[in-house]
Amino acid sequence: MKNILAVGFGGMVGSLLRAAVFQVAGAGLGLWVVNILGSLLIGIAAALLLKHSAPTRLFVSTGLIGSFTSFSAFSAQWFTLLESSLPAGILYAVGMTAASISAAGLGLWIGRKETV
């Protein structure tokens, strides 16, 4: 039960933070911000939370960061772009994916440097 509550509370906080980013940056730019920043943070969390309790890891990774990022909004935006322009849709998908994976790798590197 602790694990489920940890995910739920983290999810509440993360989704509110995502809504705040979208409010400030707009949905288009906000989606890039939450997905790239979230990828960076999940990399850091993966390295730093190894020895923490399961509820802590679940609160941060699955709940907070998982609800802060938005793969479903990315997918919907991608299909909208594909309908209007195949090159724009492909560029969007490749750009978001490459940026997010790079940010996660950078976050993992940062997190590992902190544990040394």
Contact 81, 92 (CB under 8 A): yes
Contact 39, 91 (CB under 8 A): no
**22-48 pLDDT, tens digit each:** 999 998 999 999 999 999 999 999 999
Domain with 81, as residue range(s), is 2-115
Residue 116 pLDDT > 90 = no
Residue 115 pLDDT > 80 = no
d(CA 116, CA 98): 27
d(CA 46, CA 61): 8
Encode 21-54: b = buried (16+ Cβ within 10 Å), e = exposed.
bbeeeeeeebbbbbbbbbbbbbbbbbbbbeeeee
Whether 69 has a binding-site annotation, put simply, is yes
d(CA 30, CA 81): 16
What value does the mean pLDDT of the chain take? Answer: 95
Give how many domains the chain has, as a whole number: 1
